[in-house]
């Protein structure tokens, strides 16, 4: 089993005195047992999912009339979310990375809140903002614009939970740039926007890519905020995770098949992150 | 293509700003075509001065005027992209994703020159630093010396009226440094603007600069031509740079010089009042027994360090007078010089040079 490498008895570095060997064994037991438990807690559910799957049924399950609209909706909304992260999050990361103003650290702290907030709470907060009587929603209602329980709401919920991942990844990457590069670029005549476009963004592309992958994966798995704020309407707001939840009641095998697909996608994203961009 | 018209007006700057614990107050002036060497210990304000000239740092007070234009004064602050300035730093800081040609073309492109003209210009600049055959190379494919030359070409491709070189050779290994120094000297000779060269390498300063400014703890401690400074250094740091034993002292008309630490030196060239006294390390001889004869200074001193330098050794001595002697390796062996040993040091009175402080 390669998954426990480093936990079991490693290569011996010469035979020590018996008492030291005994001490080493005690360390291995005291630390090794909880470590192995931790690993099992994480791995067993995944294995269980794979074991329970009826692999022959997966293609037909995924062709079920309810799956295709959910898949299409998930792909559309997560792609839009990724684009929103790119267009809005990159400038935010840029400001956060450059400023040492005290307000910046406050902004960064606020940004991490959605990371730790229970998604359902995020959904409630979004309702309080965009709902009929919400902070912004009440001004939209007179124009006949209703956001909650629409596809737009799905995108807003996904963006709310995914944007922080993107901004933090890109900011870290931008902070890694040598500030003297900017000084040089400016003496050469490049203003902020030109420096951003021609030097900063090309150099932080790996950070942008990993930020996008993280944000996209997070958006794809979004459940709590979506079901609270956007509801669960097939074809309109029912994304893949919501469908899994519904199918689990109706036809568990379909739920498992969709789950396997989502698992495969997650592993793919992780592989891309590990292989290309995270060293 | 290359601007060879002489420029009118050079550099006239008074830089006052606070950076960390250092209060910088430095005046720099130079004529077009001149190279001003700025020397001083690290953390003394050299780099702050350069960044202020570039416009990256704001002045608290003072002014920067270059080629008849006001870049900064009490009311005005031009940002770097509005100044005609070229900047080259220790790490060449090339844009790693752009090939050499596009690194050099970056300046002209940023200043609105069309792509073809900018690239032509970049090609010419690379040719001038001997890299005409490496235009397509990415920075990582270039040696450190080549990177430095690309950085120089890039800084000059915008025809700056002020060229700022901050420790341009510091990151290079000794061999490369010597060759790149020659290339730099050649290229600077053809440059018609003002160059400010920050360095702590005496060789850079003495071979590249027309005029030296010593900056210590935010203040100018000495200015002059390299030969002025070589002859009469005026601060402990300048003394170290030119490699002389330097003492702040009081002199009288009889040729007695009393150093601040209480050491007594006799000279045949007396200067009265507050003086600097210099002794070249090569003028110091070391003996096992107290030497006698012509009028000379002798001290019994303890050896604190012995370092080799080519065929000679520098011997650091402590006692009544801190002194560095340069002796042959033979005498090191013959006298059995080693750290901790006491020896007699002698300096002829004719070898002690004094000048007013």
Residues of chain B with Cβ-Cβ distance to A180 below 8 Å are 89, 91, 93
**Does any domain span residue B146?**
yes
**Chain B residues near residue A198 by CB distance under 8 angstroms:** 95, 106
pLDDT, residue B63, reads 93
CA distance A31 to B230: 68
Residue B64 domain-assigned (yes or no): yes
Q: Does the residue B326 lie in any domain? A: yes
What's the whole-number average pLDDT of chain B?
A: 89
Contact A191 B86 (CB under 8 A): no
> Are B89 and A184 an interchain contact pair (Cβ–Cβ within 8 Å)?
yes
Torsion sign (Cα): B155, B161, B167, B172: positive
**Is B271 inside a domain boundary?**
yes
% pLDDT > 70, chain A = 91
Average pLDDT, chain A: 88
Region A94-103: mean pLDDT is: 88
Band of pLDDT at residue A19, cut at 50, 70 and 90: low
Question: Within this chain, do residues B138 and B23 fall inside the same structural domain, yes or no?
Answer: yes
What φ, ψ does residue B307 adopt, rounded to 5°? -125, 145
Closest CB from A186, A199, A203 relative to B81? A186
Looking at residue A93, what is its pLDDT? Answer: 94
Residue B163's pLDDT band, with cuts at 50, 70 and 90, is very high
State which of B210, B239, B268 marks the end of a domain: B239
Task: State ipTM.
Answer: 0.81
For residues B146 and B131, the answer to whether their CB atoms sit within 8 Å is yes
> Confidence class of residue B4 from pLDDT cuts 50, 70 and 90?
very low
Residues B226 and B305 in one domain: no
Those of residues 145-174 in B touching chain A at CB distance below 8 A are 154-155, 158, 160, 164
Lowest mean pLDDT across A15-19, B147-151, B190-194 = A15-19
* Cα separations in angstroms, A68 against A79, A222, A226, B91: 16, 18, 19, 55
Min mean pLDDT across A159-173, B62-76, B264-278 is at: B264-278
Angle between helices A151-175 and A201-220 (to 10 degrees): 140
Does B212 lie in the same domain as B291?
A: no
Which residue from A minimizes the CA distance to B55?
A187
> Å from B250 to nearest chain A CA?
46
| pLDDT value of position A279 | 45
pLDDT of A2: 41
In sequence order, the β-bridge partners of residue B248 are B276
Q: Are residues B82 and B210 in the same domain?
A: yes
pLDDT of B294 over the 70 cut: no
B86 at A interface, C-beta within 8 A: yes
Question: Taking CA atoms, what residue in B is nearest to A200?
Answer: B95
Alpha carbons A96 and A108: distance in angstroms, whole number:
7
Check which CATH number belongs to the domain holding B130 and give it: 3.40.50.300
Residue of chain A minimizing CA distance to B98? A199
pTM across the whole model? 0.79
pLDDT digits over B195-244, tens only? 999 988 888 888 899 999 999 999 999 999 998 888 899 888 888 888 89
Name which CATH class applies to A62-277.
mainly alpha
Domain ranges across chain A: 62-277
Regarding whether B205 and B118 lie in a shared domain, the answer is: yes
Domain boundary among B197, B219, B239: B239
Cβ–Cβ gap B89/A199 under 8 Å:
no
Winning range, highest mean pLDDT, from A269-278, B169-178, B182-191: B182-191
* pLDDT tens, residue by residue, A196-240: 999 999 999 989 998 999 999 999 999 999 999 999 999 999 999
**What kind and span of H or E run contains B39?**
strand B35-39
Which of B87, B98, B147 best probes binding to A when mutated, by most A CB atoms within 10 angstroms?
A: B87
pLDDT(A258) > 50: yes
A189 neighbors B110 (Cβ within 8 angstroms)? yes
Quick: pLDDT tens for A40-76. Answer: 999 999 999 999 888 888 888 888 888 999 999 999 9
B107 and B84 together in one domain:
yes
Domain CATH code at residue B282: 2.40.50.100
Cβ-Cβ contacts under 8 Å for A72 (sequence gap 6 or more): none
Range of the domain at B329: 244-356
At B68, the pLDDT band (50, 70, 90 cuts) reads: confident
Q: Which two tokens stand for residue A204?
A: 């932080």
In sequence order, the 6+-apart residues with CB closer than 8 A to the CB of B136 are: B99, B100, B101
* Nearest residue on chain B to A194, alpha-carbon basis: B110
Percent of chain B with pLDDT over 90: 47
Same domain, B133 and B258: no
Left (φ > 0), alpha (ψ -120 to 50) or beta: where does B226 sit?
alpha
Nearest CA-CA partner of A27 in A13, A9, A50, A11: A9
Mutation site, B48, B64, B78, B81, interface A, largest A CB count within 10 A: B81
**C-alpha span between B329 and A30 (Å, rounded):** 64
Confidence at residue B297, expressed as pLDDT on a 0 to 100 scale: 86
Helix (H) or strand (E) holding B58: none
Chain A residues in contact with B164 by the CB 8 A cut-off are: 187
Question: What span, in angstroms and rounded, lies between the C-alpha atoms of A234 and A216?
Answer: 21
Domain co-membership, B252 together with B218? no
Q: Are B175 and B211 members of one domain?
A: yes
Task: Give the model's pLDDT for residue A20.
Answer: 67
| Chain A residue numbers touching B106 (CB-CB < 8 A) | 185, 188, 190, 198
- Distances B125 to B151, B290, B323 between C-alpha atoms, Å: 11, 62, 48
Query: Which is higher by pLDDT, A274 or A180?
Result: A180
| In chain A, residues 193-212 whose CB comes closer than 8 Å to chain B | 194, 198-199, 202-203
Query: Nearest chain A Cα to B88, which residue?
Result: A184
Which residue does chain A place closest to B162, by CA atoms? A187
- In chain B, the number of structural domains is 2
Which of B180, B210, B239 finishes a domain?
B239
Asked whether residue B256 falls in the same domain as residue B342, the answer is yes
pLDDT beyond 70 at B287: yes
Contact between chains at A180 and B97 (C-beta distance less than 8 A): no
Residues of A in contact with B83 (CB under 8 A): 187
- What is the per-residue pLDDT for B333? 86
Query: Based on the domain organization, do B222 and B284 belong to the same domain?
Result: no
- Asked whether the predicted pLDDT for residue B5 surpasses 50, the reply is no
Residue A92 has pLDDT above 50, yes or no: yes
Residue of A nearest to B105 (CA): A188
Which chain B residues have a beta carbon less than 8 Å from that of A197?
none
């Amino acid at each position: 089993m390669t998954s426990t490498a480093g936990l079991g008895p490693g290569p011996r570095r010469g035979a020590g005195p018996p008492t030291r060997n005994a001490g080493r064994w005690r360390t291995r037991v005291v630390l090794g047992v909880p470590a192995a438990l931790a690993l099992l807690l994480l791995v067993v559910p995944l294995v269980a999912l794979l074991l329970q799957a009826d692999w022959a049924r997966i293609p037909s399950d995924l062709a079920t009339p309810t799956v295709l609209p959910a898949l299409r909706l998930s792909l559309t909304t997560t792609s839009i979310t990724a684009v929103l992260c790119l267009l809005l999050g990159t400038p935010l990361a840029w400001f956060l990375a450059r400023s040492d103003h005290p307000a910046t650290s406050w902004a960064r702290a606020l940004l991490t809140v959605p990371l730790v907030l229970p998604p359902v709470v995020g959904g409630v907060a979004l309702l309080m903002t965009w709902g009929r009587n919400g902070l912004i929603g009440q001004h939209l209602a007179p124009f006949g614009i209703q956001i909650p329980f629409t596809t737009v709401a799905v995108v807003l919920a996904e963006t709310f939970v995914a944007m922080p991942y993107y901004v933090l990844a890109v900011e870290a990457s931008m902070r890694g740039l040598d500030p003297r590069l900017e000084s040089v670029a400016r003496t050469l005549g490049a203003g902020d926007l030109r420096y951003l476009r021609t030097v900063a963004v090309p150099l932080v592309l790996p950070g942008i890519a990993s930020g996008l992958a993280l944000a996209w994966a997070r958006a794809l798995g979004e459940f709590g905020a979506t079901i609270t704020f956007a509801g669960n309407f097939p074809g309109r707001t029912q994304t893949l995770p919501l469908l899994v939840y519904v199918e689990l009641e109706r036809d568990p095998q379909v739920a498992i098949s969709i789950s396997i697909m989502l698992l495969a996608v997650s592993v793919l994203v992780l592989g891309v992150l590990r292989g290309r961009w995270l060293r | 293509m290359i601007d060879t018209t002489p420029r009118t007006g050079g550099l006239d700057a008074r830089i006052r700003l606070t950076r960390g614990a250092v209060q910088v107050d430095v005046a720099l002036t130079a004529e077009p075509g001149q190279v001003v060497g700025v020397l001083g210990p690290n953390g003394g304000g050299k780099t702050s001065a350069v960044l202020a000239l570039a416009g990256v740092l704001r002045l608290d007070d003072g002014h920067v005027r270059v080629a008849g234009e006001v870049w900064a004064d009490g009311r005005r602050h031009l940002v770097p992209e509005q100044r005609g300035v070229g900047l080259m730093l220790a790490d060449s800081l090339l844009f790693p994703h752009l090939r050499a040609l596009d690194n050099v073309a970056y300046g002209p492109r940023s200043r609105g020159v069309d792509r073809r003209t900018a690239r032509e210009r970049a090609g010419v600049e690379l040719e001038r630093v001997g890299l005409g055959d490496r235009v397509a190379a990415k920075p990582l494919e270039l040696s450190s010396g080549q990177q430095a030359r690309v950085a120089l070409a890039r800084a000059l491709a915008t025809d700056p009226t002020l060229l700022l070189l901050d420790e341009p050779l510091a990151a290079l290994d000794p061999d490369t440094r010597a060759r790149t120094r020659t290339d730099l000297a050649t290229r600077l000779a053809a440059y018609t603007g003002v160059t400010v060269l920050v360095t702590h390498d005496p060789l850079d300063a003495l071979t590249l600069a027309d005029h030296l400014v010593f900056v210590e703890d935010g203040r100018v401690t000495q200015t002059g031509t390299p030969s002025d400074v070589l002859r009469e250094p005026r601060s402990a740091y300048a003394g170290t740079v030119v490699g002389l034993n330097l003492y702040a002292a009081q002199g009288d008309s009889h040729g007695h010089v009393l150093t601040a630490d209480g050491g007594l030196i006799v000279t045949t060239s007396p200067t009265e009042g507050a003086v600097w006294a210099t002794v070249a390390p090569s003028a110091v001889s070391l003996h096992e027994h107290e030497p006698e004869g012509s009028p000379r200074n002798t001290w019994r001193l303890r050896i604190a360090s012995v370092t080799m330098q080519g065929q000679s050794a520098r011997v650091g001595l402590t006692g009544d007078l801190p002194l560095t002697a340069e002796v042959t390796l033979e005498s090191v062996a013959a006298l059995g010089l080693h750290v901790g040993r006491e020896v007699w040091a002698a300096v002829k009175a004719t070898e002690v040079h004094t000048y007013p402080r």
